[in-house]
Structure 1
Amino acid sequence: MNALRRPSTAVNALLALLIVGAGFWGRALLRDTSETTRASASGVRTVTATQGTVTRTVSAGGSVASASTATATFTTSGTVTAIPVKVGQTVKSGALLARVDDTDAKRDLELARADLEAAQDALDRAQDAGTDTGSASNAVTEARLAVDEAEAKVAGTRLTAPMAGTVTAVNGTLGSSSASSGSSSDGGSASGFVDLADLTKLQVTAAFSEADATELKAGQSATIVWNALQNAETTGEVVAIDPTATSKDSVVTYGVTVSLPNPPDGAKPGQTVTVAVVTGSVENAVMVNSAAVTTVGNRHTMTVLDSAGRQEVRQVQVGLEGDDATQVTSGLASGERVVVPVGTTAGTTTTNLRGGGGGFPGGGAPPGGGGNGGR
């Protein structure tokens, strides 16, 4: 009987150990599951309010153009007999660009001068005879006007440069009529027989959306980045904003001219660029990632963590809403932690957070968050 009782005791002891072990394992599993559930339920991360510069910009695509251009067009019709210039050539003011056949114009001038001489003789005879000179005087005046017009036509057979610059286009050919130049086949603005531009004076023209254009004014700083020139970037300022809009495919834009005082090497008219204009900047501002601010009407709130990790929904006053950060003028101090929910609309709060959440590297927004895009 003692022999039978000993194995039974050993079995009972083994069962007891298994039961105790299962209990510990179950508690550990429940604890891990509970902690995971609490961590997932928190659903928030934080950013730290800092002090720095808040900047707001608007941007648009544009192109480089000459700030000084001119067109030269014949004033006398005729057959083009000479074009001594070519595209890319630099010319001085007054230089000969093209010429038309002046045979007819010179003949008309000779006739006009002969008519003037005859009219003057008739006036002299009337004066010597003591007769009425009114009619003769009128004839002389008309003849002089005809001579002036004929001289202008002769001068108009020579096309000269109205300014110093580079020839950017020759819109006529030898043997063609001078009257056929100056038209635009694509419905745009007309050009001259020869177009000139001062390539030493460049500017940028860009088309900004109507919403962004309301924030622009002359004198604002701009950054220009070239799309084709590697690492080419320079600064300029807004010179002018078109007073009227341009509408194309239901998109309304305003033309903006930006100065280009120091263009990079290789800059040429026609190159495409991206223009970013600073429309607002505040230094030494308390700022926070824009995704952390909730705005309803004129009321702005954010969820702030205290030193114990407790959440507090706080009303704040904001200033400049920048590209990536918002200025907070009251209600928040630099160094305080602000909640930015992950995977939810900015400003949504979850109240079961225990302890502080991890900040984003560099104070950035969480994935899916981000700034207000300058709006």
Structure 2
Amino acid sequence: MEDTVLRAPVAGKVASINGVVGEFVGGGSGTTPLAPGGTVPLPELGSSVSAGEQGGGENERPGGTSFIVLGDVQSFQIVAPFAETDAALIQPNQEVEVTFDAIPDLTRSGRIASIAPSGTDIRGVTSYYGVIVLSELDPRLRDGLTASANVVVDHRDDTLTVPNAALMQSGGSGTVTVVEPDGSQRQVQVELGLAGDSATQVVAGLREGQQVLVAPGG
């Protein structure tokens, strides 16, 4: 056994080793999860363990009961739930901007790889899981990080927009309050185009440079 060599079928980085010397490793067998990159078992929840101690508890182990778990550090995929109203707009190959809770200064681009054809009930709300493949990597990225994704479902170049907080909408049109140079205000009807989370395209009714009144907090 001293000369035994385990060869992985794919390239990757060892994410976890669930076992210590002397334990029997088999399908579904219980083994002791080790800390990543070390020989010390992961401590039980609410306890600690020092170097040289053996054994482990019933704490959750990376990769379940698999003896060795390999991670592909050359590519990352993000699985994210989308509300049904958003899922209807999502298609493969759309551009995505991804941020990470644990790395506030990091933003990475990606693309939609797929969107589930059927919904999943998440706390009473129907959501559709989408898979996002990152186009850019960073050495700080780790498997299991919490991420937020903004999907670009459509875009317009060189267009006039107003903040959504300035609009009173009705179908494909709306009204805004224009503030004149002398401080007076007047209601103006506008024709609307593409709507975003924070701003909406104005097709007609306003010109660049005009000031509009924005609702408090908008």
TM value normalised by structure 1: 0.43
Partner of 2:72: 198
Partner of 1:273: 147
> Superposed, which structure 2 residues align to 1:75-224 within 5 Å?
96-97=5-6, 161-171=8-18, 174-176=22-24, 178-181=26-29, 192-224=66-98
- Percent sequence identity over aligned pairs: 31
The alpha-carbon distance between structure 1 residues 244 and 171, as it changes in their structure 2 partners (threshold 3 A), is farther
Partner of 2:122: 248
Pair 1:259-2:133 in alignment: yes
Partner of 2:158: 284
Counterpart CA distance in 1 for 2:15 and 2:139 is 19
2:114 touches 2:130 (CA, 8 Å); kept in 1? yes
- SS across alignment from 1:283: coil
- SS across alignment from 1:219: coil
Letter of the structure 2 residue corresponding to residue 176 of structure 1: F
Q: Deviations over 1:328-351 (max 9, x none)?
A: 11122223343x3xxxxxxxxxxx
Q: Deviations over 1:286-337 (max 9, x none)?
A: 2222222222345423344567766554332100122322211112222334
Counterpart CA distance in 2 for 1:312 and 1:181 is 75
Pair 1:367-2:216 in alignment: yes
Letter of the structure 2 residue corresponding to residue 285 of structure 1: T
The alpha-carbon distance between structure 1 residues 242 and 172, as it changes in their structure 2 partners (threshold 3 A), is farther
Counterpart CA distance in 2 for 1:205 and 1:309 is 50
How far did 1:268 drift? Answer: 1.5
Q: Which has the higher helix share?
A: 1
Q: Using CA pairs below 8 Å that are at least 6 residues apart, which structure has the higher relative contact order?
A: 1
How far did 1:223 drift? Answer: 1.6
- SS across alignment from 1:282: coil
Partner of 1:14: none
Q: Deviations over 1:72-125 (max 9, x none)?
A: xxxxxxxxx89x6xxxxxxxxxxx44xxxxxxxxxxxxxxxxxxxxxxxxxxxx
Counterpart CA distance in 2 for 1:367 and 1:313 is 17
1:217 touches 1:241 (CA, 8 Å); kept in 2? yes
TM value normalised by structure 2: 0.68
Unaligned residue ranges in structure 1 (runs of 5+) = 1-80, 85-95, 98-159, 341-364, 371-375
How far did 1:176 drift? Answer: 3.2
1:236 touches 1:261 (CA, 8 Å); kept in 2? yes
- SS across alignment from 2:154: strand
The alpha-carbon distance between structure 1 residues 171 and 252, as it changes in their structure 2 partners (threshold 3 A), is farther
* CA RMSD, Structure 1 to Structure 2 (Å): 3.3
2:102 touches 2:146 (CA, 8 Å); kept in 1? yes
Counterpart CA distance in 2 for 1:301 and 1:261 is 40
Letter of the structure 2 residue corresponding to residue 237 of structure 1: R
2:179 touches 2:211 (CA, 8 Å); kept in 1? yes
- SS across alignment from 1:215: coil
1:181 touches 1:193 (CA, 8 Å); kept in 2? no
How far did 1:171 drift? Answer: 4.8
Q: Deviations over 1:160-193 (max 9, x none)?
A: 53323233344566443624349xx99xx97644
Letter of the structure 1 residue corresponding to residue 137 of structure 2: P
Counterpart CA distance in 2 for 1:262 and 1:303 is 43
The structure having more radius of gyration, on CA atoms, is 1
Partner of 2:168: 294
